[in-house]
Each structure stands twice: as structure tokens, then as C-alpha cells.
Amino acid sequence: MATAAETAPALTPAGTLALSLRGASKTFGPVVALADGTIEILPGEIHALVGENGAGKSTLVKILAGVHSPDGGEFLVGGKPAHFRNVSESKAAGISVIYQEPTLFPDLTVAENIFIGRQPKGRAGLISRGEMRRRAAELFATLGVPIDPDRIADGLSIADQQIIEIAKAISLDANVLVMDEPTAALSGVEVERLFSVARALRDKGAGILFISHRFEEVFDLSDRITVMRDGRYIQVHNTAEVTAPAIVTEMVGRELGELFPKKEAEVGDIVLKVEGLTSVGTFRDIDFEIRAGEIVALSGLVGAGRTEVARAVFGIDPYDVGSVSIDGARLNPHSPQDAIAAGIGFVPEDRRKQGLVLDLSVARNVTLTLRHSLARFGLISGRREKAAAEDWSQRLQVKTGSQDLPVSTLSGGNQQKVVLAKWLATDPKLLIVDEPTRGIDIGTKSEVHRLLSDLAGRGIAILMISSELPEVLGMADRILVMHEGRISAELHRGGATAELVMQAAMGNHGELHPGRTNEEISTGLEAGE
Amino acid sequence: MSTVTHAPAAPRSSSLKRFLTAREIPVASALIALIAVTYIINPRFLSPQSAKDLMLNATIMVILAVAQALVIITRNVDLSVGAILGLVAFGTGTVFNIFPNIPLVVVFVVGMFFGGLLGSINGMLVTSAKVPALVITLGTLYIFRGVLSSWAGSNQYFSGDNPKEFGNLSVDTFLSVPIITIIAVVITVAVAMFMSSVRSGRDLYAIGSDPDAARLFGIPVGVRVLSAFIACGALTGLAGVLYTSRYNSVGALTGSGIELDVVAAVVVGGVAIFGGSGTVAGAATGAVLLATITGALTATRVDKFWQQAIVGVLILAAIVIDRVVSLRRTRKLRASEAKDV
């Protein structure tokens, strides 16, 4: 953590700030989303905010936008204290936000999406559609994009939707413009266009907060950079005086304790082989294999295509090219039934929506995958169901008052164990776990890790998707890092560091290893083992 | 980096094309075709007297459909309108019974106020309880109907009990259009203007299109939805007053089951049941179509049994058309996304 003396050069007197937030906190139930949200934006600057997934950036943005009100801390806009109760108040104070996900009204026209709630009025106080269309067309001309203001928003590409969000924000003429990963869906030309608009707004005196995972863009565009980690403000830098590796170190810089020990397991034959897997627009040329007893982590930023690859392997989503084989036998694409029959289990990211039937009992949930083996003459006996469920709950140490309670009454960690039990009961060869410890308290987290490690020890191959670097580094035998739909690096236990994973995830390895390609990095690591 | 994302140009869709793809076109064409075919089979269908009957029969449904459309466009529904109509209609009969010389305009104001009050109960429950409006208004439908039953008992008010000039609203015509029909048309035009050209009217579409986005955007979702329910109740109250003028008697069963006819009219008229699109003009056209089917089947001597089946087919047709259009859009989207890679 930096001392006050070190931060001093970048801090400025409060009166000259467009916006400042100091020590803001926000909790949702037991989850601390933001512990120390601190940011200050000057008029006429582009300020970048960087941090890992879950560092609290989005929560901070939502506080600025008036979506959440902070539990504590000081929030000043234009030098005056701000207490936004809703989005309109934040807007009225001159703050305009472009969210990561476009939030358009699909049934309304493009022009109306831009001007909803402040449509230009013509005669008799009625909305003038002609004027609205003209102004929208003007905005699109500034942005240099050919979008018909009269078409409805439904059916527009994500990039076009993002452009409309930008046009909307520009038309608000805000003092502070917040852009939460605006470039994620844009192509090079569009990004360049967006940047020239951002620079023009800055030159007119607007303060811009820019959140991006692409370092190239951060360094290209911003004047200052604020780094966040684990819900806390870490440091603010003048962009000209700092390097990308230094920022990465601050983003990941925490001690990797012995929290996530994976026991050595005997590595057996190849269980899963994925070759040339491609789904147009989502991921490309995915090649990897997992052996029995191995834990392979699929790392990368949110949106890099990790979950999509897992879903394609399990057959939930179709793919365009490539193949998935279990024990050498090729799986039919797009058939979860075949995947289950071949011995794959899938623990989804959103366990409440996709992993569990929340209103059913613990016993029912555990035995969902056993319906056929438990049934006699098509009827499931409650006694046999309970016996099977109790067996598994004990093995996984699920803490529940009774097998008959709805699974929604359990804690997050115990719910996750129920999902795991459900799949283990099928005796899988390969288990895919997507964000296995998301939203789980630290104690139960290590139990889940121990469990996964035990399973690998028993010869199950595990594919783990995780956004938490310590978890990835602690648990995985091998780490596949994805960047924009491709595997950008393969790192081995021992050779992998947080910095290497982060660099590969951002698609930026030149800074750390000038002149070396991904392959060289990974082979270099292999050689070093 | 990928290549340029856009299709080379985004030509402005011509106004003719936009007109032809409007959601109201299917229902309007169906109405015109129905009238034309019936007229060819039986030319007396459009004689002055039966044209007048046609309009009178459609009037109350048109007002109810316009009212309901306001609520459905916000991704809600009000199933209690049949009971609200019954309560206001019986209330109107009661008022005339107690104050025979009351000015008509006062009766209209009281009826709309009463309806608006009942609508506000629905609106407050829906906006505060976070339970789908379908369930809430199903509940209030039974409650309102129960209140009416115990209030009315076996009492009925007959048109003969009301002042003559009140009944005449449904008899007298202006340019051969009944007065109450003119009221319905004025209401439809006014609400249509509000929905298309006033900011708060446009907010209702935004809310129905994506309630979460509306909240993120700072639209006062609760206030707008509450207002939509109050407006729906008030217009239903107006329909209740006109019902008393138009029909022979009002009692405990007045308006029973009419809520489903109203929702049918709105959906057939091109208002999406999940909100966000469609117009009150379309809903009104849907109401006229359903009322005309009854008249047309009588004029062509088709068994009345078929009327309900035909309404059912129209509802399904409206939903299928909606689905096909949105599927086509999704496919186009996927194609344009694929080009980006």
C-alpha cells in the first residue's frame, strides 16, 4: 500500500475537481463489493481506472451513476457533496455513464433511444420527430457512422448499440463522462473514432473516466491512471510516468499464501481432447487436452470466451469447426445428453440459476442426475433417493439441517457442494467447473478447493474456469490463458506468475518479454521446469 | 483487429416500407377484408341502421381496449377491468336513482374518478408488491366483483330509470355517427397523441421495452406504471358510464368476462403482450374488428358458435406474426455479427 506522501503529487485541491470520491464503501449482504473506492477526476482529463475482475470497478461506476448509494465515504461533484438517490439525480449533476452492456430499448427507434425523456419539443409542446431525427443524424455524422435514426434498436449489432450509447452520452453534454469498457465490442476503426471523440470532449473541458482491460488503449488515451485491487484504491499515476508492468504488479500484487494447495496427483491418460474448436464470433482454434488427475485452468478476462468454450465442450452451445473427444471417442456436438453419457459433469458459473433447482430439497437436487438409476418401473422411491443423497452429502460435508430443506436455504458454499455432489454421483471422468468459488466465503472456499484437489487425486480430469488469479495459480497444473477468443498462452505450474497470466490475458506480452512470442514464453517455462 | 463492422451503408428505410411493416397493418387489412366480404354477401350489412348498430356495439370495447393498451404497453395487464366497469356502471345507475336531476357532466366526472380510484389500487399493489400484474389484478378482479355483488345484490337499474338525455347519448347521432362513438373516437385520438408525442407517453414504451434499462436511464418507472393503471381505471370508468347509457340494465353481473375480450382485442390489434410496442390506434382497431365479426357472422347467417373460434384464431395469428417478425430480426442480427469476425 502506498503512503500518503507518495500519492501527494497526483492529488489536487478539491475545489478544482470535476468529481471526487474518497473512501467509498458498499456491501451487499455479507459481500463487500467496495471497501475503499477512491477516484478523482479533473475537468479536461481522461482518467483510466484499471483492476482485475472483481476489483470493484463496476460498483464504483454504479455509485457515480446513482444506481447504488455508498454505505460510507465522501462524494463530491463540482466541489459540492453529492447524495444521489437515483440515476436522474446523477444525470442532473452532469454525470453520464456508458455501461459495459448496452442498455437500449429494443422496441424504440434509434433516435428515440438517444433522446428518451428529453425529446425535442415542437408545436404545442408535442415531440418533434423531425427535429429528433435531425439531431440524431448530426450525432452520427460527428461519429462518422451510417446508422438510420428511424430504425428500431432491436437487431442492431453490439458494436452499433455501443455507438448509440456513446451518441446518447455525448448528446447529454455532461461534465463527467464515465465509460465502462466501451471498446470491448468495437473494432479498430470504431475504437479510433471513439477516442477522437473522447479527446475532443476532453479538450472542451469534460472529465472522462475510462475503464478498460486493454493496456494499449489505457496508455494511448489516458492522462492519469488509478489502480484498484480487491475493492480498494491502490494508487494513482500520471500515465507518462509509469509503465505497464508496474501497473500489472499493482493490480495483482497480493501475497499468494498457501490458501489453495493442490496435492500432487498421478497424471494418467488423456481424457479430454479438444481440437481446432471454433465458434464464429466467439472463439477460434481452441486446442488443448486434459489428462486424468490433472486440473487445467482456463484463465482470462471476462468476455475472453472461457465460459463459451466450456459450454461448447459440454454440448450446451453448438460450434462451427473442430472436435471434442473423451477417451479418444468423438462427442456429438450440441448434445449435453451425450456429454453426460460420456462422463462429463458441468458445474455452471451461475449456480443459483443454472446449477440448482432452488425450491427443491437438498436430496432432490443431489439426485437430479441419478433419476434413471434410482427409478424402478419409472417411479423414484423417496427412500432410495434420500439414502443416495445422504451418502453424498456426508462425503462432501454439506451442512444442512435436513435433506428435505429447500436448497435455497443453504449458504453459497454448501450450495456449491450440492452441485458438485450432483455430478460426482454420476462418477464423471471430466468435471468442468466454472467459477467454482464465486460468492463463497473464504472458509468454505478452501473446502471447495480441497474437494477439487481430492477429486483430481482420484483420477478425475478437471477443467476449471476462474477469474481469481490466486485460485488459478494455486490449483492448476496447467493454465490456458484466453484473450479475445483465442488461447494466448499456456503456462505450467511453477513457471506461472500472476504477472505472466495477466499480461497474456490482456494480449500484451511485448512489454515484459520484448521480442518473445507466446510460444517462446510457454516453452521457456516448460524448459525451466 | 477485425475489419470495419458496419454494412457499407445504412439506407434510410422508405416511409412506404415503414408503413407496410407497421404492426397495425394486419388487423386493419383483416377489418377491411371482413367488411368487404360481408358486404358482398349481404349488402344490407352496411345499411345506415346496421352501420349504426355496428358502431354502437364497438364503442365500449374501443374505450376499454385503449385503456388496456396503456397498461399492456408497460409490460403489465389489468384483468380487473370487467369488475371496474361493472362497479362504475352500477354506481351510475345508483347516482341517477338518488339524484335524478344531476348534470350529466358530473356523472361522467364521478364515474371516471371512481374508476381511477380502483385503478390506483391496482397500480399501487403492482408497483409496491413486485408481483406480476397478472396475479394482482386477477385478485382485485374477484375482490371488486365481490364488492359489486354484495352492493347490488339482486338489484338492477333499467335504462327507463335514467334521465332521457342520458339514454339519448346512445341514440342520437351527429353526421350519422352515434354521440358515444364520437366520444370513443375523441378518446382514442387523444390517447394516441399522448402515447406518440408526449415524453411521459414515450416513457411507457421504454418501460415496457426493458424495465431494467428504464430504471438505469432514470425514468421514474413506479410513477409511470401507477399512472398507467390510474388512466386505465379512469377510462374504464368512462366506459362504465357509457355502458349504462347504452344498455338496457346494469346489475351485479355487468361486465363479467369482458376483461378477456379486451385483452384479446388489444393483442389482435398488434400490441405486444410483453409490452414495448403497438399503438392504441391498433388496439382500437382490434376492438372494432372483434365487434364487427359478431355483426358479420349474423349478417351472413353463420352459426354464432364460430365467433369465438374465429377470435381464438385471430389471437394465435397475431402472436405467430409477432414471433416470426422477431425471429427474422434475430437471424439478421446473427448474420451481421458473424460478418464482424
Residue A281 forms contact with B (CB below 8 Å): yes
With bands split at pLDDT 50, 70 and 90, how would you rate the model's confidence at B335? low
Q: Which helix (H) or strand (E) holds A376?
A: strand A375-376
Cα gap A207→A236, rounded to integer Å? 16
**Of A143 and A184, the one with more pLDDT:** A143
* Cα gap B143→B121, rounded to integer Å: 11
State the pLDDT at residue A406: 85
Contacts of B11 in chain A (CB under 8 A): 148
Q: Are residues A295 and A321 in the same domain?
A: yes
Q: How far is it, in rounded angstroms, from Cα A233 to Cα A241? A: 19
Query: Which candidate from A99, A106, A145 shows the least CB-CB separation from B209?
Result: A106
Phi/psi for A315 (5° steps) reads 90, 10
For A189, other C-beta atoms within 10 Å of its C-beta total 16
CA distance B90 to A136: 51
A112 in any annotated domain: yes
- Rounded distance, CA B275 to CA B333, Å? 21
**pLDDT for the residue numbered A46:** 94
Per-residue confidence (pLDDT) for residue B339, from 0 to 100: 46
> Domain count of chain A?
4
The per-type count for chain A, helices as H runs and strands as E runs, is 19, 22
Using the structure block, give the residue that is written with the C-alpha cell 471526487: A20
Boundary (domain end) residue, out of A395, A426, A457: A426
**Taking a C-beta distance cutoff of 8 angstroms, is the pair B140, B121 a contact?**
yes
- Measured in whole angstroms, the distance separating CA A471 from the mean position of its chain's CA atoms is 15
Cell numbers of B181, please?
Answer: 362513438
Do residues A130 and A17 both lie within one domain?
A: no
Q: What is the Cα–Cα distance from A461 to A289, expressed in whole angstroms?
A: 10
Pure H helices in A44-155: 57-65, 87-92, 110-115, 129-143
Interface test with B, best of A98, A105, A131 (most B CBs within 10 A): A105
Model confidence at A443, pLDDT cuts 50, 70, 90, reads low
For A345-369, the pLDDT digits (tens) are 998 887 777 778 888 888 888 888 7
| Distance between CA atoms of residues A174 and A168, nearest Å | 10
Band (pLDDT 50/70/90 cuts) for residue A9 is: very low
- Asked if residue A88 has pLDDT above 70, the reply is yes
Global confidence as pTM: 0.73
Q: Tell me which of A268-272, A282-286, B6-10, B85-89 is least confident.
A: B6-10
Instruction: Check CB contact under 8 Å for B217 and A116.
Output: yes
CA distances for B256 relative to A524, B116, B267, angstroms: 80, 19, 20
Q: What whole-number distance in Å separates Cα of residue A3 and Cα of residue A13? A: 18
Query: Are A408 and A524 found together in one domain?
Result: no
Residue A516 has pLDDT above 90, yes or no: no
Q: Which residues of chain B does A220 touch, with a Cβ-Cβ cutoff of 8 Å?
A: none
Q: Please indicate whether, in this complex, the C-beta atoms of A106 and B202 are within 8 angstroms of each other.
A: no
Whether residue A286 sits in one domain with residue A150: no
- Asked whether residue A254 carries a pLDDT value surpassing 90, the answer given is no
Predicted pLDDT at A6: 38
Chain B touched by A192 (CB under 8 Å):
no
Find the helix packing angle between B25-41 and B280-299, rounded to 10°. 20
From chain A, pick out residues whose CB is under 8 angstroms from the CB of B5: 157, 159-160, 186-187, 189-190
pLDDT at A271 over 80: yes
| pLDDT recorded at residue B326 | 67
pLDDT of residue A528: 35
User: Percentage helix, strand, coil, to 5, in chain B?
Assistant: 75, 0, 25
In a domain, A265, yes or no: no
Judge whether A231 is closer than 8 Å to chain B, CB to CB. no
Give pLDDT, residue A38. 93
Burial class (CB in 10 A: 0-12, 13-18, 19+), A460: buried
Amino acid making up residue A526? E
Quick count: other Cβ atoms within 10 Å of Cβ A359?
10
Percent of chain B with pLDDT over 70: 90
Query: Cα–Cα distance between B181 and B291 in angstroms, integer?
Result: 13
**Highest mean pLDDT, choosing among B157-166, B190-199, B309-318:** B190-199
Q: What is the pLDDT of residue B263?
A: 94
Q: Is the pLDDT confidence value at A518 over 70? A: no
Q: Dihedrals φ, ψ of A332, to 5°?
A: -70, 135
Q: Coil, strand, or helix at residue B5?
A: coil
**CA closest to A84 among chain B residues:** B218
The residue among A385, A408, A426 that closes a domain is A426
What is the DSSP secondary-structure string of B74-88? TT---TTHHHHHHHH
Listed ranges A336-345, A439-448, A473-482, B84-93; the one with the highest mean pLDDT: B84-93
Residues A178 and A83 in one domain: yes
Q: What is the distance between the alpha carbons of residues A114 and B173, in angstroms, rounded to a whole number?
A: 46
Which of A392, A426, A460 lies at the terminal end of a domain, its last residue? A426
C-alpha cell at A87: 440515476
CA gap A273, A286 in Å, rounded:
10
The alpha-carbon gap from A121 to the nearest alpha carbon of chain B, in Å, equals 9
For residue A114, which residues of chain B lie inside 8 Å, CB to CB? none
Min CA distance, A93 vs chain B (Å)? 13
Does the structure show a pLDDT above 90 at A55? no
The DSSP secondary structure of A298-340, one letter per residue, reads EEE-TTSSHHHHHHHHHTSS--SEEEEEETTEEPPTT-HHHHH
Is the pLDDT score of B189 beyond 70? yes
Residue A349 lies in a domain: no
Is residue A402 predicted with pLDDT exceeding 90?
no
CA A274/CA A119 separation, integer angstroms = 52
* Average pLDDT value for residue range B315-319: 80
Q: What separation in angstroms does the CA of A98 have from each of A64, A85, A177?
A: 12, 19, 8
Instruction: Give Cα A86 distance to the centre of its chain.
Output: 25
pLDDT of B4 > 50? The answer is: no
pLDDT bracket for residue A122 (50, 70, 90): confident
Statement to judge: residues A506 and A440 lie in one domain: yes
| Same domain assignment for residues A111 and A76 | no
Cα(A70)–Cα(A27) distance, integer angstroms:
9
Give B313's contacts (C-beta < 8 A, 6+ positions apart).
Answer: none
Over chain A, what is the mean pLDDT?
82
Confidence band (pLDDT; 50, 70, 90) for B331?
A: low
The pLDDT of residue B8: 38
Arithmetic mean of pLDDT, B305-329: 78
- Please name the residue that has the C-alpha cell 433417493: A385
The cell 418507472 sits on which residue? B221
Within this chain, do residues A85 and A128 fall inside the same structural domain, yes or no?
Answer: no
Indicate yes or no: CB of B13 within 8 angstroms of CB of A150.
yes
**Cα dihedral sign for A201, A203, A207, A210?**
positive
Q: Answer yes or no: is the ipTM higher than 0.90.
A: no
Q: Which three cell numbers stand for residue A208?
A: 472522462
Residue B10 scores a pLDDT above 50 = no
Which is higher by pLDDT, A344 or A393?
A344
For residue A218, which of A186, A242, A200 has the smallest C-alpha distance? A242
Residue A431, H or E segment: strand A430-434
Quickly state the pLDDT bin for B193 (edges 50, 70, 90): very high
Helix (H, G, I), strand (E, B) or coil at A39: strand
Nearest to A155 among B4, B219, B333 (CB): B333
Residue A226 sits in the same domain as residue A370? no
A3 phi and psi, to 5 degrees?
-85, 165
pLDDT in tens, A412-429: 778 888 888 888 888 889
Is residue A320 domain-shared with residue A383, that is, in the same domain?
no
Locate all alpha helices (DSSP H) within B161-198, ordered by sequence: 164-168, 179-197
Distance from chain centroid for Cα A265: 30
CB B144 within 8 A of CB B122: no
CA distance A12 to chain B (A): 31
Q: Which three cell numbers stand for residue B155?
A: 338489484
How far, in Å, CA of B115 to CA of B230, rounded?
8
A281 contacts B218? CB cut-off 8 A = no
Residue B276 to residue B104: CA distance in whole angstroms: 37
Which residues of chain B are within 8 Å of residue A160 when distances are taken between CB atoms? Answer: 5-6
Q: Do residue A225 and residue A369 come from a single domain?
A: no
d(CA B76, CA B73): 7
Query: How high does pLDDT run on average in chain B?
Result: 86
Residue A98 has pLDDT above 90, yes or no: no
Better-predicted residue by pLDDT, A142 or B283:
B283
The boundaries of the domain holding residue A479 are 270-343+428-528
Q: Give me the pLDDT at residue A521, please.
A: 37
Quick one: average pLDDT of B220-241? 96
CB contact under 8 A, B338 and A280: yes
All 3 cell numbers of residue A526? Answer: 516448460
Q: Which amino acid is at A408?
A: S
Q: Do A116 and B220 touch (CB under 8 A)?
A: no
- Worst-scoring range by mean pLDDT, A185-194, B9-18, B319-328? B9-18
**Do residues B157 and B90 make contact, with C-beta atoms less than 8 angstroms apart?**
yes
Q: What confidence score (pLDDT) does residue A417 get? A: 85
- Asked if residue A353 is part of any domain, the answer here is no
pLDDT higher than 50, residue B341: no
Listed range (A66-75, A369-378, B51-60) with the worst mean pLDDT: A369-378
Q: Identify which of B22-31, B225-234, B310-319 has the greatest average pLDDT.
A: B225-234
pLDDT category of residue B73 using cuts at 50, 70 and 90: very high
Residue A10 and residue A71 in one domain? yes
Out of A354-358, A509-513, B175-179, which region has the weakest mean confidence (pLDDT)? A509-513
Q: Which residues of A touch B209 (CB under 8 A)?
A: 105-108
pLDDT at B234: 97
| Contact assignment for A146 to B196 by CB distance below 8 Å | no
> Cβ–Cβ of B206/A108 closer than 8 Å?
yes
Q: What per-residue confidence (pLDDT) applies to A227? A: 92
Give the pLDDT confidence of B101-157 residue by residue, as tens digits.
889 999 999 999 999 999 999 999 999 987 899 999 999 999 999 999 999 988 889
Residue A258 placed within a domain: no
Under 8 Å between Cβ of A496 and A479: yes
Per mean pLDDT, which of A170-174, A503-507, B281-285 is the most reliable?
B281-285
pLDDT of residue A467: 79
More confident residue, A253 or A142: A142
| Rounded CA separation A309/A298 (Å) | 9
CATH number, domain at A91?
A: 3.40.50.300
Grade residue A209 by pLDDT with cuts at 50, 70 and 90: very high
